[in-house]
Amino acid sequence: MKKNEPNSRRKAIKGVVAATAVGLGAASVKAATPKESKPEKIAGNITMQDDVPLFSGHTIHGNMVFIAGKGAHFDGDIADHTDHVLKELEKELVKAGSSMDKVLKVNVYLHDLNDYHGMNKVYRGRFGKNPPVRTTVATYGGVPGDSLVEIDCIAALD
């Protein structure tokens, strides 16, 4: 193998992998290969607009569930809105076959960043002993529907 030969490292690695595969035998290599079947996307709680699907309240793919953003569309303060949104998230998780303690990732969208501490007071402890990772941002122009907060999440299935 020449030092400047194009793809020489790639060829060397392929050779090592091929030799290892031969040494292990085809059965071992085949067992390490992922299943050929692909998980199917399953949409639930679909919102329609003019008899056309607009979005789903949740989507399941493999062992993961993706929950659409939930908002609070009534008069109230950040504590009222956050409590309502978290209860709606929990309902959607249960419909999908998961739960709050299975949530892995949360996105919080605030109408006003000044509501951060008020949202945190209500949010704290709602996801069990091992809280999910979270991103919190204030949206330019506000959250749709005059909600003070919108939250979506990704969770594992039970």
Distance CA 68, CA 126 (A): 18
Instruction: For residue range 18-40, list pLDDT tens digits in order.
Output: 544 444 444 444 444 445 567 77
The whole-number average pLDDT for the span 68-88 is 97
Residue 15 CB neighbour total at 10 angstroms? 11
List CB contacts of 62: < 8 A, sequence separation 6 or more. Answer: 39
Highest mean pLDDT range out of 18-27, 38-47, 52-61, 148-157? 148-157
| 118, pLDDT greater than 90 | yes
Two tokens at 148? 């003070």
Contact 96, 67 (CB under 8 A): yes
What percentage of the chain carries pLDDT values higher than 70? 73
Give the residue ranges of DSSP H helices in the chain: 8-24, 26-32, 78-96, 116-123
Q: How far apart are alpha carbons 43 and 5 in whole angstroms?
A: 50
Q: Which CATH architecture has domain 41-156?
A: 2-Layer Sandwich (3.30)
Angstrom distance (rounded) from CA 42 to CA 97:
12
